Every structure is written in C-alpha cells, then in structure tokens.
Amino acid sequence: MKIFNTMTNRKEEFIPINPKEVNMYVCGPTVYNFFHIGNGRTFIVFDAVRRYLEYRGYKVNFVQNFTDIDDKMIKKANEQSTTVKDIGDEYIAEYYKDADALNIKRATVNPRATEFIDEIIAFVKELVEKGYAYEVDGDVYFSTKKFKSYGKLSGQNLDELKAGASERVNLDEKKNDPMDFAVWKSQKPGEPAWQSPWGMGRPGWHIECSCMAHKLLGDTIDIHAGGEDLVFPHHENEIAQSESRTGKPFANYWMHSAFINIDNKKMSKSLNNFFTAREMLQKYNSDVIRLFMLAGHYRTQLNFSIELLDSTKVSLERLYNAISNLENLLEEVKRQNLNDDEREYTKNLDSYRDKYIEKMDDDFNTADAVSVIFDLVRDINSNVNAGSSKDLVVYSLNLIKELGEPLGILQKTTKGSLEEEIENLIAARQQARKDKNWALSDKIRDDLKSRGIVLEDTPQGVRWKKA
Ligand code: AMP
Ligand code: ZN
C-alpha cells in the first residue's frame, strides 16, 4: 500500500511500526460551532482511510482531538454568557450528532485539550529545561531556531519563512524572534486559566496536539493527518515541539486533505461561505454527501455546489436501484446453488474487488474506487436476473456492500435510506416550526405529500405513512 507523504512529497510504501496495527492522529475541530462540510470533508476522508486500513486487516488506533480552549471558544462563551466548558460540552455533543449522521466511525479516543492540562504543563516544562522554549512575563515561546529542521514539512527554511512573516509580525509581541510561537499563554482578564510554573495561563493550540498524540499513541505515530491548511504552521510546530522533546520522528506519514471550495474560495467560517453538515443532512442522506466527497481524490480541491450534490444523488440512485433489484430477486429466484457458469462468473466479479484494492492501495484513490463500484454494478445489472441462483444474488449483493463499506456508503438497505431521509425532513420541519418559520414547515410537508408521504401529528410526536 502506498501513501503520499507530505514530508517527502511523494508516494511511499506504507510500513507501520507494528505490522498489524496503525496509530493514527487526526487534528479535530475547535468545538465552538457546528461544523461545516469543508471540515466534514476532512473528517470523512480520514474516516475512509481508517475504514480502508481496517478492511485490509489492520487494527487502527484512531485519535481525533477536540480543541476546547482557544480564542474562539472564549469569545463564544462570552457572547453566550456561559463558560468555555459548557460551550465545549454543547458542541462536542453536536459534533457527534452530525458525525454519526455522516456515518463517520467513532474515534478510538477523542481527547479534549482541557483534560490534558497537567501533561501539557509537563511537556512545556521539559521544553524549557532542554532550552527549546523560554518564558517572558508568563508566556512561554518555542524557539524555532533551536530546532534545526524547522520548516521541513512545508519545505521552507527559516529564512524564507521569516521573510514571508515579516509583514505580519506584531511588534508588541514579546518573543525573541518573529518565527517563535506560543506554547503557553498567560491569562488575560476574564479568561479561563490553570495554575502553572509560569503563573496562571492556558496552553497554545499546537502543544495540545503534540501532547495528546504523545500521551495516547507514543513517541512516533504512523499517520498524522489533517486538512491542508494545517501543514503550516500547525503541523510544523507540532513537529518542532515533539521532536525536540523525544529526539525521534513525530510521525512517519503525514497526510493532508484538500479543501472544499465555493466559487474557488476555501469554504470557511470566516468567509461566511459555508454550509453546515447539519443543514446538508436535512436534504441529503450520508451516502450522497460521502459519495460526493469521495468521488474526488482527497488531495484535489473540490468545488461545492448544490447542483453537484444533486447529480451525485442521481448517480447514487443507480446503485440503490441495483441493490433493491437484487433484494427483490432474493424473493423471486428458484434455484439455490451456483451452477458452473455462475461459478466462473463469480471470478469475474472478484476481479472488481482486485481492481478496487489496487486503486485504494494507491494512496486511497477513492475516486477510481467509486468508478469500480459503478462498473461492478453495471456488470451485475446485465448478468444477474430471475434465472440466477440465490447464491449468486447474495454473492453480488455482498460484494457491492463490501466495496461500499470502506467508503462508508451503501450499508443500509434501500428502504433504510429512504426512511432516514424522511426522518431528517421531519426533524427539519420540527425545527422550522420551533423557529416559527411556517413557510418552510409547510413546504416540507407539501414536498413530502407530493412524494406520497403523509405526516400525522400524534401525542408521541410526528408519525409518517405512505398515502
Ligand atoms: P477547525 O475546526 O477550523 O480547526 O477545522 C477542523 C478541520 O477541518 C481541520 O483539519 C481543517 O484543516 C479542516 N478544514 C477547515 N476548512 C476546510 C475546508 N474548506 N475544506 C476542507 N477541510 C477544511
Ligand atoms: Zn493538531
């Protein structure tokens, strides 16, 4: 299996430290808001990587953190007159709702930065003792020039980085060098803070990941991943801290997924050009959203539009139709066992699995893997029918689902996905009613009605049935 390693800028044979196990760390969300589908792409891509590694027989220890203390968290807590802890609790719960709905497997561990304060302080202390970090008035900075290979991930050297940074440098900062970065920040009025050898304060963002990855996965991890915007400075800084501390490589493979763009601009909260996963899930089921994401290569930027999602939905219908035909055939077919021709034909079916594995082994080429599934389905559509044996129908059905599983799609029966869509629409209508948006709630009801679904308000909640 080959993985494109950002560190070396090329595809490399993947050799995990333990032959049967993969330790993987993915930078997770800052939990001050719902996540948008740009973030969602990163989560879905690395969920597919994890699922595929599992499909290939590895045990994957998958750690994805929650950043639950930073400026955005503090701002949100102030706006809502609540605590940073409560904002974290609230949006972690919302994260799980959306991630579960997107069929993203739960991580082995989702550490929260604020649960690792003691370990972070110990980490910073060690950096100070080793001379890699220094304190100024309660702030602690990492001294980038002490770490000789600073810049190796993003392929820049310190002088180039400095030249690029010179306009952005804030002269008020107390650090010795513009490229140094904070590992510990002294408390400002009204901010949450913890006792430390440098006074009351809180951790910097980069040290959280270095610390939690080390604590949960050890000195060297197999795969460290995140969105491409994290290469610099976040991952560069994680490397500097971690490798200064241990003297060992922090991660053997660095994977970065490309952005989702809207009109060729990165989807982001700051540009206000985003769609939340929540709102997309009200209109599309997780298969549509995941197929849309995974039909592109993870290192290629993806332009988002509703039209593209709609056309993905139409293509997905082809797969659903094939599955539901096979499910119906199960009731119809007369013969149980494979005959000789069918036995031969299963070898042809198996060749799609081989092709799929070949594509996915090549740096998780989900785009080509998706095409293989469509080719497989076309083949099955023209060769499996009411004259086939039950075993062949089952074989075909299982293979489609098997190849869908690493992508996290096609796992429910077609009936299940329709039900899910209706439940989502009902939830959207309930929300619209709560918001007193009667126009929207009526529209959802009428749209469902035109599809032959009637809603009934009962004391137990909204029920639906086919008219
Ligand atoms: P944040 O909550 O902003 O810290 O981001 C969480 C994750 O989503 C990080 O790995 C980011 O790199 C990633 N991310 C943010 N915006 C986008 C985008 N437009 N497309 C893809 N990934 C993104
Ligand atoms: Zn991180």
The pLDDT of 239-264, averaged and rounded, is 97
In terms of domains, do 201 and 151 share one? yes
Please tell me the residue having the least CA distance from ligand 1 atom 21: 259
- Asked if residue 268 has its Cβ within 6 Å of ligand 1, the reply is yes
Please tell me the residue having the least CA distance from ligand 1 atom 6: 29
Q: What is the pLDDT of residue 456?
A: 86
In terms of domains, do 455 and 386 share one? no
In terms of domains, do 383 and 441 share one? no
Tokens of 240: 């500097």
Ligand 1 binding pocket mutation candidate from 33, 35, 39, 272 (most atoms within 8 A of CB)? 39
Last residue in a domain, options 389, 407, 425: 407
- Kindly state whether residue 145 falls inside one of the protein's structural domains: yes
In terms of domains, do 448 and 326 share one? no
Please tell me the residue having the least CA distance from ligand 1 atom 18: 38
Structurally, the chain folds into a number of domains equal to 3
Ligand 1 binding pocket mutation candidate from 6, 32, 35, 42 (most atoms within 8 A of CB)? 42
**How high is the mean pLDDT of the chain?**
94
In terms of domains, do 319 and 237 share one? no
- Kindly state whether residue 401 falls inside one of the protein's structural domains: yes
Asked if 23 and 222 count as a contact pair (C-beta separation under 8 A), the reply is: yes
Whether pLDDT at 165 is above 90: no
Q: What is the pLDDT of residue 416?
A: 55
In terms of domains, do 401 and 421 share one? no
Residues facing 139 on adjacent strands: 136
User: Which of 276, 273, 274 shows the shortest CA–CA distance to 284?
Assistant: 276
Tell me the CA–centroid distance for residue 226 and ligand 2, in Å: 7
The pLDDT of 164-186, averaged and rounded, is 79
Whether pLDDT at 243 is above 70: yes
Please tell me the residue having the least CA distance from ligand 1 atom 5: 29
In terms of domains, do 152 and 53 share one? yes
Tell me how far apart the alpha carbons of residues 41 and 240 are, in angstroms, rounded to a whole number: 27
In terms of domains, do 246 and 349 share one? no
Tell me the CA–centroid distance for residue 269 and ligand 1, in Å: 10
Buried b vs exposed e over 274-291: b needs ≥16 C-beta within 10 Å? bbbbbebbbbbbbbbbbb
In terms of domains, do 52 and 199 share one? yes
Confidence band (pLDDT; 50, 70, 90) for 167? low
In terms of domains, do 102 and 181 share one? yes
Query: What string of H, E and C letters represents the secondary structure of 381-397?
Result: HHHCCCCCEHHHHHHHH
- Asked if residue 234 has its Cβ within 6 Å of ligand 1, the reply is no
- Kindly state whether residue 383 falls inside one of the protein's structural domains: yes
- Kindly state whether residue 425 falls inside one of the protein's structural domains: yes
User: Which of 384, 393, 381 shows the shortest CA–CA distance to 331?
Assistant: 393
Distances (CA, A) of 195 to 118, 138, 385: 10, 11, 70
Q: Domain range for residue 376?
A: 311-407
User: Which of 79, 1, 70 shows the shortest CA–CA distance to 29?
Assistant: 70
Chain segment 253-272, per-residue pLDDT in tens: 999 999 999 988 999 988 99
Chain segment 120-144, per-residue pLDDT in tens: 999 999 999 999 999 999 999 999 9
- Kindly state whether residue 266 falls inside one of the protein's structural domains: no
Tokens of 387: 């004259």
- Kindly state whether residue 149 falls inside one of the protein's structural domains: yes
Last residue in a domain, options 407, 433, 456: 407
Ligand 1 atom at minimal distance to the Cα of residue 26: 10
- Kindly state whether residue 453 falls inside one of the protein's structural domains: yes
- Judge if pTM exceeds 0.85: yes
Q: What is the pLDDT of residue 163?
A: 72
Q: What is the CATH number of the domain that holds 91?
A: 3.40.50.620
- Kindly state whether residue 124 falls inside one of the protein's structural domains: yes
Confidence band (pLDDT; 50, 70, 90) for 235? very high
Chain segment 346-382, per-residue pLDDT in tens: 999 999 999 999 999 999 999 999 999 999 999 999 9
In terms of domains, do 40 and 123 share one? yes
In terms of domains, do 253 and 235 share one? yes
